[in-house]
Amino acid sequence: MVNIEGFSKRLVIIMNYYDLSAASLAEKINVQRSSISHLLSGRNKPSLDFVLKILKAFPEVELYWLLNGSGEFPKKEKQLEQTPTLFSIKEQNSTNENTSKIIEKSAQEGEIERIVIFYKDGTFKNYNP
């Protein structure tokens, strides 16, 4: 459940960070000005659509920070040290042998365009061979 008072405070932080008024924020995310006013006053709770519009318009905003205050704003970009190639992936000690076999089999069947690994925390890594 979203704490509306905390959400309103974080919305103000976003507006201050980007130097936006309520009207300019509403225009930027394509909602009515009254929607922003009602959220800031605590009258309404944010809809999923509203939250998604904020995340789309401002990539520095983390979902969990926006909803419940955990995390950071602005979010820090995770930097990959070096994008591994298919060959370096094969050389790494894999804890899951099935994954290695799938990668090797795919490499034999045809050219691999990319490999995407999804983690349970919602993050992912994209590898281009």
Residues in the chain: 129
Topology of the domain comprising 4-68: 434 Repressor (Amino-terminal Domain) (1.10.260)
Query: Tens of pLDDT along 84-118?
Result: 555 444 444 444 566 666 666 656 666 777 788 88
Under a CB-based contact definition with an 8 Å cutoff, are residues 40 and 22 in contact?
yes
Token pair listed for 104:
């090797």
Token pair listed for 128:
């281009």
Whole-prediction pTM value? 0.57
pLDDT attached to residue 99: 62
Q: What is the CA radius of gyration of the chain?
A: 21
| Nearest in space to 126 (alpha carbons), one of 69, 84, 88 | 84
Residue 48 has pLDDT above 60, yes or no: yes
Band (17; pLDDT cuts 50, 70, 90): very high
Residues of the chain with CATH 1.10.260.40: 4-68
